Amino acid sequence: MGRLDQLVETVKIYALTALHYLGSGHGMSAGLLRIEDLSVSFQTPEGVARAVNRISFALDRGNPRRGGESGCGKSVTSLSILGLIPPAGIVESGRICFEDRNLLELDAEALRRIRGREISMIFQER
């Protein structure tokens, strides 16, 4: 398995743990979350640092897992999903579809209504 394959698999596993679905009655059996060609970078004093580079994956409900290498982009991917990238960061490309809504196209108020009610992050301290 190559480094990119390991990264994608690690992000899949972590995102399934990091995202907690709180909605009810939506009737969704598959396709809860789709990440398509996501790239996220940060401006640093040394230049641009690419934290996530063109990852794509889909997650369905009901299959929680844990894991992920340190530094592979799990947290940045999760923060991107929630629209909580720090000011130095930018989502350069891609789509983040939660229940067929592209979260990157929502305004701040619409995203705020979803965050915490339908989707949230579970922080895992060691």
Q: Cα 1 to the chain's mean position, in Å?
A: 22
pLDDT for position 124: 67
pTM of the model: 0.71
- Tell me how far apart the alpha carbons of residues 23 and 46 are, in angstroms, rounded to a whole number: 42
Domain extents in the chain: 3-114
Are the CB atoms for 68 and 11 separated by under 8 Å? yes
pLDDT for position 11: 46
Tens of pLDDT along 48-69?
999 999 998 888 877 655 556 7
- Tell me how far apart the alpha carbons of residues 40 and 94 are, in angstroms, rounded to a whole number: 9
Tens of pLDDT along 93-108?
999 999 889 999 999 9
| CATH of 3-114 given 3.50.50.60, 3.30.110.40, 3.40.50.300, 2.60.130.10 | 3.40.50.300
